[in-house]
Amino acid sequence: MQYLFYLFAAISVLSGLFVVTARNPVNSVIALIVCFLSIAGHYILLNAQFLAMVQVIVYTGAIMVLFLFVIMLLNLNNSTEPQKTLLTRIAAVVAGGVFLLTLLAATRQGVEIAAANPADASVGLVSHVGMALFKDFLLPFEVSSVLFLSAMVGALMLGKKEKVAA
Amino acid sequence: MSALILTSVLGVVLLYLGLSGNKSILAPTAIVGLVAAGVMSWTGWNPGLMEFPTMLKFDQMSTLFNCAMIAVTVLLFLFGIDYYRRMEENVAEHYALMVFSLTGALILTSYTNLLMLFLGIEILSIPLYILAGGKKRSYRSSEASFKYFLLGSFATAFFLMGIALIYGVTASFDLAVIGQKVQAAPNNVLFLLGAFFVSIALSFKVGAVPFHFWSPDVYEGAPTLVTAFMATVVKTAAFAGFYRFLQMTAMPPALSDTLLVITILTLFLGNVVAMRQSQFKRLMAYSSIAHTGFLLMAVLANSAMSWSTLFYYTFTYALATVGLFIVLTLAKRAANGNEAIVIFRGLFRANPWLALVTMLLLLSLAGIPLTAGFVAKYQVFMLAIGAGFIKTAVFAVFMALVGIYYYVLVIREAFTPAEETPVLVVSPINWLVVSACGVAVVAFALWPVLVG
């Protein structure tokens, strides 16, 4: 189990790095798919089988394929990438460095992390997720419908062709 | 709870009414619905006794904030009757999205669970990203929408990282449970980190320096009604959410120090940069950043009384802002879409009453005695001094004095005769709303004196 965790962690980190460093956006997307697959691996290690499946089907399957299409349609390459000035680069490095430092410093101080739930292989099955959604988290589940509805309304409003004003 | 359900349903009803093609029934329906929601919220009417105590808790604080936000939205919709008159398409969508956004705001004032905080923020923001791009033919409006969306998503990423860390430490999303665990082990570094991340995201939403870069551009680009909504309802909700979150963390010293730095930067930058603005909406954006600084002081004091100060401050600030944005729209129409401060020139000649009310509203924002803005600032300073932030309070008083300068600039324009007196067309409803804002700003200032 532990080795599997390190394996998946290494794949996630490396593919994640490749996503940001790759020159070609298509390579980036492929690396992101690998990253998402390894995260699905983490979910399985954590006994969240349903989440792992959803991750593969929704993220790696649907969303990333859509992403790939968009990138291919836009025909992005080096020449269309905006050039960043030296100042922005320095600022980005400093900001990122400070962020990394904070995270490292925090994790170095052997902090206590809440114990995970006792290992129960069935905890991540669909029925359990369903029970949690419709019992403990019923209100957030229902309220999120407002969120999706407004997102849909917005997409239609912004995407709809307007009649040309006379 | 029933107010929350009513506003969600009201949004859908408005969308359906939009299909009928009759624009004139939209605003009245929305206003009637919102007034009903306000009454339900005020009386705590809850027929089916639907309660989710681990998700939402409607206490005195959330009731007052909710009623205030609903009232401000009603004022904005009254203004909307005239504002959307010339718009042909998507009027129903505009109203519906604002109602949905208000639903998110209602959640933000009353959540007891980090999941609800997340949903509240998103429901509040996503309609705004869209509304900011409401003028589809305007380049600035699209830019505002896109900028707001990208930076908002970035803030959301920080927020999620924060609650993931907090969950990792406490194994709970419930504020009460987290609060207990934190009191048992106050200096858990991962928890602090999580609280930092959430605070960053919330600072972005309230527009505190250094997370303020979006606000001048978005305020300027968005349609005026939406800008007014952002400056009032959204800011109020974000502050209520911020306050509730910080109450739970019990304000560890590291977090308090960070917020202190953010507060001082916000006070300084907001007030100083506002002095150099020539566009009214940008001026209002920086003024709103400056007010964020004062409000952050109340949050920073983190006493049990902070919320009533926050409520008084945000509500009176919202009333003044709504009035001013209406006056701006009227003046802008007379000046063919120009939004510079100079368009206020000659306002006194054109419409003395409107100019007087504008003066009152601006004086209230500046915090001159006998207006509500003064009482609000006074309360904030007393709160900060009571909590031991004496130097910050002195600095804030100084910054408030700087702030008077740019508000007086606008007043001076309004009372300077123009070469060509602008012709303002003021519809009766707009006149009523602006006057109500002006009267309320004075009435609320006298209220504490009259009552106690």
A70 in a domain, yes or no?
yes
**Which pLDDT tens digit goes with each residue over B213-226?**
899 999 999 999 99
User: So what's the pLDDT on residue A121?
Assistant: 66
Per the model's pLDDT, the better-predicted residue between B263 and B187 turns out to be B263
Which residues are CB-contacts of A94 (< 8 A; sequence separation ≥ 6)? Answer: none
Cα B182 to Cα B170: distance, rounded to the nearest angstrom:
8
CATH number at residue A58: 1.20.120.1200
- Based on the structure, what is the number of domains in chain A? 2
Point out the residue among B122, B130, B169 whose CB comes nearest to the CB of A147.
B122
Q: Report CA dihedral (B224, B229, B230, B235) to the nearest 10 degrees.
A: 150
Out of A19, A46, A77, pick the residue that ends a domain. A77
Cis amide prior to B210 (ω within 30 degrees)? yes
Tell which residue, B34, B51, B30, B32, has the closest CA to residue B42. B34
Pick the last residue of a domain from A48, A77, A106. A77
Which residues of chain B does A154 touch, with a Cβ-Cβ cutoff of 8 Å?
93, 97, 126-127, 129-130
- CA B91/CA B33 separation, integer angstroms: 17
Report domain extents, chain B: 251-452
* pLDDT, tens only, B224-249: 999 999 999 999 999 999 999 998 88
CB spacing of B171 vs A115 below 8 angstroms: yes
For residue B14, the model assigns a pLDDT of 93
How far, in Å, CA of B312 to CA of B88, rounded?
A: 37
How do residues B385-417 score in pLDDT, each as one tens digit? 988 899 999 999 999 999 999 999 999 988 888
Tell me which residues of chain B have a C-beta less than 8 Å from any C-beta of chain A: 8, 11-12, 15, 52, 54-56, 88-90, 93, 96-97, 100-101, 103-104, 107, 113, 115-116, 119, 122-123, 126-127, 129-130, 133, 136-137, 145, 168-171, 181, 185, 188-190, 192-193
Q: Cβ of A154 and B189 within 8 Å? A: no
pLDDT score for A25: 82
Q: Tokens standing for A39?
A: 């995260």
Among A12, A42, A77, identify where a domain stops: A77
- What value does the mean pLDDT take over residues A129-141? 88
Using CB atoms, pick whichever of B116, B127, B168 lies closest to residue A150: B127
Domain presence at residue A134: yes
Does A91 map to a domain? no
Residue B174 DSSP code = B
In the prediction, which pLDDT does B328 show? 92
pLDDT at residue A166, as a whole number: 43
For residue B219, give the 3-state DSSP assignment: helix
How many CA atoms within 13 Å lie on the side-chain side of B299? 32
Mean pLDDT of chain B: 90
Q: Which residues of A fall within a CB distance of 8 Å from B113?
A: 140
| Domain membership flag for residue A97 | no
Q: Residue A80 — very low, low, confident or very high, per pLDDT cuts 50/70/90?
A: low
- Provide the domain limits for residue A27: 1-77
Question: Hey, what are B355's tokens?
Answer: 């100019």
Please tell me whether residues A67 and A1 are part of one structural domain.
yes
Give how far the C-alpha of residue B335 lies from the chain's centroid of Cα atoms, to the nearest Å: 27
Q: pLDDT tens for residues A84-116?
A: 788 888 988 998 999 889 888 877 776 666 555
pLDDT tens for B273-313 read: 998 888 999 999 999 999 999 999 999 888 777 888 999 99
Cβ <8 Å between B12 and A139: no
Q: What ipTM was assigned to the predicted interfaces of this complex?
A: 0.87
pLDDT tens track for B163-184: 998 988 888 899 988 988 888 8
Reported as a pLDDT band with limits 50, 70 and 90, residue B452 is very low
